[in-house]
Chains A and B, each alone.
Chain A
Amino acid sequence: MLLNDLRLIYPEIILFFGALMILIYGIFSSNDEKSIKNIFYLTIVTLFLSFYFSLNFVPLDIYGFNKLIINNNFSQLFKFLVLIGTIIICFISYNYFDYLKILKPEYFFLILLSCLGILIMVSSSSILSMYIGLELQSICLYILASYRKDYLKSAESGVKYFILGALSSGILLYGLSLIYGITNSTAFIDISEKLNNTAYVSDNIFIISTGFVLVLSGLFFKIATVPFHMWAPDVYEGAPTPVTAFFTTIPKIGVIGILIKFLNIPFDSLKDYWIQILYIVSVVSMILGSTVAINQQNIKRLLAYSSINHMGFIIIGILTVSHIGIKSVLLYVLIYLFTILGIFACLLCIKDDKNGTYLEEINSFSGLLQKNPFLSFSLAILLFSLAGLPPMAGFFSKLYILISAVDSKLYILAVIAVLTSVISAFYYLKIIKVIFFDKPQNTFFCEITISFKIIIFSITILTLFFIFFVSDILNFLDKYTVII
């Protein structure tokens, strides 16, 4: 019985053994160029294998391990996105760490392990496995944030992230314990059954709502929505750039997956309550994410605030509680992932001439157009896409969110979303302005290896011509929109 259940977690098992092998290989080999390269290949192979297995060999819609795990189309999609995103991150981070001479086996080990945590979390169907997955990925992320030990800001970001993250995990766990206490069950489906009993709920509404709000706060902390966003800019700025790319995309996508599941399965009957909470969080996130970003000088901080704004958009889709809403979230997440990864890939190609550091200040990108038109155009297209301008991909994701909002008669929310996207267009334009309009101020050089070229080029082309296959993508997503 238990052995039979192992089929459900093939991808996770592969990731786990891959990570262990990297650790063992790292111990028994010398730290030279060749062995690091081997470890890199091992990571990529592990991720691909995991992807292949989750695509082909995982049985769907069967509970495993006493209702701890269930895979369905919805969680499968999130797994695909997480694995593809992690592969791209591995490719774009190799050069960065290699250049700084801190490329160690641990890096790939941690990435794989946090990826494992996200996979467990996404496919969990119980508050227990959800917490384990969440915690596993968070702990890896704390270490990754402070990966550049010699760099003060990186250490600071790691400590900041750890303290606040631990606090939020504590809050989350407390909330989960309250929910467990009142429902006497851990599986989502059982909790849902208990909460369907209206008399029981209204008797214990105080404890249920307290527990629920605490869990929600913990989850919001992980995706950095207002008012739990304070850590994001500092941590993003201090962490090594590829790790920032990881933070901005992969864990957030995982948490969005589990957030949708958590809201719609166990707490389905309390819809009316959490819609209000999400409404406020979404409005505040969009407004703060778009206004505060205007004054940022560091591009990583700016992207942190922009991602807060994007999370606000995604929450609109979640709170509509409709088929089209969830579909719009999936589309948004898909486009967001690739656009952000493309932008980070571009940033990881540009180094300062004098001290060889990677450029982070927005003003230092001036004159990129003369230096490297390919990078400047790719960045411009990707930023326009983030700003939601047609015909780029980002327009369709925002359009779909707006459609779902109008469909659910949330007109005010739609108007706020539109206004904030005008404001956020302003700061994306600021970067484009520096690249295209300003005179060159400092010297830098661009180094684009072949893998970067492939990644940036394909993402840019897909973003630019998204209109030609938007229909296919939407049909494809239709299958994955069913949550339960």
Chain B
Amino acid sequence: MIDIPILSFLLIFPFIGVFVIFLLNKKDENYNKKVKEIGLWTTLINLFLSIILLYNFDLTESSFQFVETIPIIDDLGVYYYLGIDGISLPFILLTTFLIPICIISCWHKKYPNINYLIISFLLIELFLIGLFSSLDLFIFYIFFEASFIPMFFIIGIWGSTNRVYAAYKFFLYTLFGSLLMLLGVLTIYFYSGTSNYTLISKVDFPFLLQLWLFLSFFASFAVKIPMWPFHTWLPDAHVEAPTEGSVILAAILLKLGGYGFLRFSLPLFPDAVEFFAPFIFILSITAIIYISLIALVQTNLKKLIAYSSVAHMGFVTLGIFSRNIEGLHGAMFQMISHGIISAALFFSVGALIERKNMKYINSYSGIWKKMPLFGSFFFIFVLGAIALPGTTGFIGEFLILIGSFKIKFYLSFLAGIGIILSAAYFLWLYGRLFFGNINSNVKSISNLNNYEIMIFSLLSFFVIFFGIYPDLLIKLYELSINKLIVT
């Protein structure tokens, strides 16, 4: 262990990056390039710092590590209280890994006002790291809600035609959920007299209070993850957001819900979780099957992947609320794996849409003949998404199936149908896009550029690597997750 406050540094560097970008001279002709370079370097420093974090992380310790406390609001006893355990570390790594990739991805694109886009990325990184590492309820809430603001701008400014509607819908849905959570936070604060997470986790809430608190947190996390029927903002937000926005949204922001369930709902309100678990199984199964069926009939590329995200998140909630070792491990693994796979899928789809500016599946046909390399990459990602053994997707969904099998056989059976459906819509999508005759749109399509090849090979490496050697990831969160198991 080393003594420097790495978590604070992780929060400070994006902020310094934003500050430097504001100080740059706008009239400089290389302004845009400099902005991107500053953005890239700050996020790379953060990636480096998070790897130091990983290196120094004690795998044999299940309590919080790298703890920092500074009082902020004496009056309420609120502390700037940071610390990570095995649940938060993978998410922090995912964040610091994906944000530089997003910046590289917009390197060759001609976004207007690129400086604000980079600032939004840096801010979102700051808020997300703060969120995953904060152990004080108020600080958590502040980061949680602040993280919508950059996303609102990313969708609203750089989105496509219907962006304003989508940005609004995204913002108001999540704001509504999170304000209800604020009431829950306040109630916890008044009941236990503290907002310190480690102290609160020792408090036993009465059953009735637990039910209400669970619902208030559920309102926020269910919108965020998103569970059926609170998912309707997601397809709009994904379709309208720019590629990088969709990537951050699908890969990281959706995981806030799962993280919230693991961090707050499960340990703090165990009786309420027991009570509500059957309802959540119903919602999860509905999400898996019903949303998969919806995905099957989509004609819009991004919408199809957005719906597939909802279905995959259904697996996550199924795993989390089964609360046995396989279910929880699977849910955690599925979140990280979906973080990589959905990012990859959105990058791929984005690469297509940006080339031809057409969102519909039937606008493309026979791409394989023009872009074989892209076809191979896309195939790896699709295999990951349909949970083929050897990819990351398989580990997560397989574990979740075992976990739900232990609860009830038919849960596992129905979820299995969802996997088959996901194979159906993804393979069908792949067939329609890549095989068949080259149509007029595809004729003039240009091959992948170096930036894209770099991104895709990096992502496909991780898709396969964690599929073959999942233990590396499981070791990270094993001890922290095992504390949540209820036998």
User: Is B156 an interface residue when CB atoms closer than 8 A count as contact?
Assistant: yes
Bound Cα distance from A433 to B159, whole angstroms? 13
A residues less than 8 Å from B190 (CB atoms): 406-407
What are 18 of the A-B contact pairs (CB < 8 Å)?
A389-B175, A390-B146, A399-B182, A403-B189, A406-B183, A411-B183, A415-B183, A418-B180, A418-B183, A426-B172, A437-B156, A437-B157, A437-B163, A438-B164, A470-B73, A471-B73, A475-B74, A475-B75
B382 to chain A, nearest CB (A): 34
Instruction: Report how far A434 CA is from B385 CA in the complex, Å.
Output: 39
Q: 8 smallest A-B Cβ distances: which pairs?
A: A390-B142, A474-B75, A418-B179, A437-B156, A406-B186, A422-B176, A471-B73, A471-B74
B168 interface hit (Cβ, 8 Å): yes
Say if the beta carbon of A236 comes within 8 Å of chain B: no
Quick check: A402 and B183 within 8 Å, CB to CB? yes
Asked if B30 CB lies within 8 Å of chain A CBs, one says no
Query: In this assembly, does B153 line the interface, its C-beta being within 8 Å of a C-beta of chain A?
Result: yes
Is B68 on the interface with A (CB-CB < 8 A)? no
Q: 1/0 per position for B173-185, CB-CB distance to A under 8 A?
A: 0011001101100
B142 close to A391 (CB less than 8 A): yes
User: Are B141 and A390 closer than 8 Å at their CB atoms?
Assistant: yes
* Interface membership of A54, Cβ < 8 A: no
At the interface, yes or no: A340 with Cβ under 8 Å from chain B? no
Q: Does B164 lie within 8 Å of A474, measured CB to CB?
A: no
Q: Once the chains are docked, how many angstroms separate the CA of A437 from the CA of B116?
A: 13
Q: Give the interface size bracket for B toward A.
A: 35 or more
Tell me, yes or no, whether A429 is within 8 Å of chain B by CB.
Answer: yes
Q: Does B71 contact A (CB under 8 A)?
A: yes
Provide the A310-351 mask, 1 if CB < 8 A to any CB of B, else 0. 000000000000000000000000000000000000000000
- List of A residues within 8 angstroms of B72 by Cβ: 467-468, 470-471
Partner of A403, one of B143, B167, B186: B186
B113 interface contact, C-beta 8 A: yes
Closest A residue to B113 by beta carbon equals A369
- A245 contacts partner chain B, Cβ-Cβ < 8 Å: no
Q: Which residues of A contact B180 (CB under 8 A)?
A: 418
Q: Which A residues are in CB contact (< 8 Å) with B152?
A: 429
**Residue A425 at the chain B interface, CB threshold 8 Å:** yes
Given contacts A433-B167, A475-B75, 18 further A-B contacts (CB under 8 A): A389-B148, A395-B142, A399-B182, A402-B186, A406-B187, A418-B180, A422-B172, A422-B175, A425-B171, A425-B172, A433-B156, A433-B164, A437-B167, A467-B142, A471-B71, A471-B72, A474-B73, A478-B75
Cβ contacts A381-399/B at 8 Å (1 or 0 each):
0001000011100010001
Q: Is the CB of A390 within 8 A of B145?
A: yes
Chain A residues with CB below 8 A from B172, complex form:
422, 425-426, 429
Q: Which residues B126-167 have CB closer than 8 A to chain A?
A: 138, 141-143, 145-146, 148-149, 152-153, 156-157, 163-164, 167
Segment 26-46 of B: residues with Cβ below 8 Å from A? none
Interface residues of B (CB under 8 A from A): 71-76, 113, 138, 141-143, 145-146, 148-149, 152-153, 156-157, 163-164, 167-168, 171-172, 175-176, 179-180, 182-183, 186-187, 189-190
Determine if B183 and A426 form an interchain contact, defined as CB atoms under 8 angstroms apart. no
> Smallest CB–CB gap between B235 and chain A, Å?
20
Chain A-chain B contacts (Cβ-Cβ < 8 Å), number: 81
Interface centre among A402, A437, A475, A478 (most CB of B within 10 A): A437
Is A414 positioned at the interface, with any CB of B under 8 Å from its CB?
Answer: yes
Closest-CB distance, B168 to chain A (whole angstroms): 7
Bound-complex Cα distance A421 to B175 (A) = 9
Give Cα distance in the complex from A426 to B169, angstroms: 10
- Residues of chain B contacted by A418 (CB below 8 angstroms): 179-180, 182-183
From residue A482, how far is it (CB to closest CB) to chain B in Å? 16
Assess whether B163 is in contact with A425, with CB atoms less than 8 Å apart. Answer: no
How many positions in chain A have a CB within 8 Å of any CB in the partner chain?
Answer: 32
* Complexed CA–CA distance, A474 and B163 (Å): 40
CA–CA, A395 and B73, complex, Å: 14
Contact at B75–A389, with CB atoms within 8 Å? no
Collect the chain B residues with CB atoms within 8 Å of residue A407's CB. 190
Residues in chain A near residue B167, CB distance under 8 A: 433, 437
Which residue of A is nearest B186, CB measured? A406
A188 CB–B CB distance under 8 Å = no
* Residue contact A391 to B179, C-beta cutoff 8 Å: no
- Nearest-CB distance from A333 to chain B (Å)? 17
User: For residue A419, which residues in chain B have a CB less than 8 angstroms away from its CB?
Assistant: 179
B298 to chain A, nearest CB (A): 26
Q: Which residue of B lies closest to A324 (CB)?
A: B75
CA of A429 to CA of B171, assembled, Å: 9
CB of A416, distance to nearest CB on chain B (Å):
11
Q: Name the contact of A389 in the complex, choosing from B149, B156, B164, B168 (C-beta under 8 A).
A: B149
A183 to chain B, nearest CB (A): 38
**Nearest CB of chain A from residue B236's CB, rounded to whole Å:** 15
| CB 8 Å contact bits of A460-484 with B (1 = contact, 0 = none) | 0000000110110011001000000
Pair B141/A471 contact, Cβ less than 8 Å: no
Q: Would A474 and B74 be within 8 Å (CB), given that A389-B149, A437-B164 are in contact?
A: yes
Task: Select from chain B the residue with minimum beta-carbon distance to A402.
Answer: B186
Residue of B nearest to A403 (CB): B186
When C-beta atoms are compared, the residue in chain A nearest to B190 turns out to be A406
Q: Which of A420-472 contact B (CB under 8 A)?
A: 421-422, 425-426, 429, 433, 436-438, 467-468, 470-471
**Complex Cα distance A390/B182, Å?**
11
Q: Which among B143, B148, B179 is the interface contact of A422 at CB below 8 angstroms?
A: B179
Chain B proximity mask over A246-287: 1 for CB below 8 Å, otherwise 0? 000000000000000000000000000000000000000000
Bound form: Cα–Cα A284–B71 in Å:
38
Q: Which one of A389, A390, A475 has the highest number of Cβ atoms from chain B below 10 Å of its Cβ?
A: A390
Docked CA distance A415–B167 (Å):
25
Q: Are A436 and B156 in contact (CB-based, < 8 A)?
A: yes
Closest to B141 in A: A390
Give chain A residues whose Cβ lies under 8 Å from the Cβ of B186.
402-403, 406, 414
Residues of B within 8 A of A471 (CB): 71-75
State the CA gap A369–B117 with chains docked (Å). Answer: 13
Chain A positions within 8 Å of B175 at CB level: 389, 422, 425
The CA of A258 and the CA of B187, in the complex, are separated in Å by 32
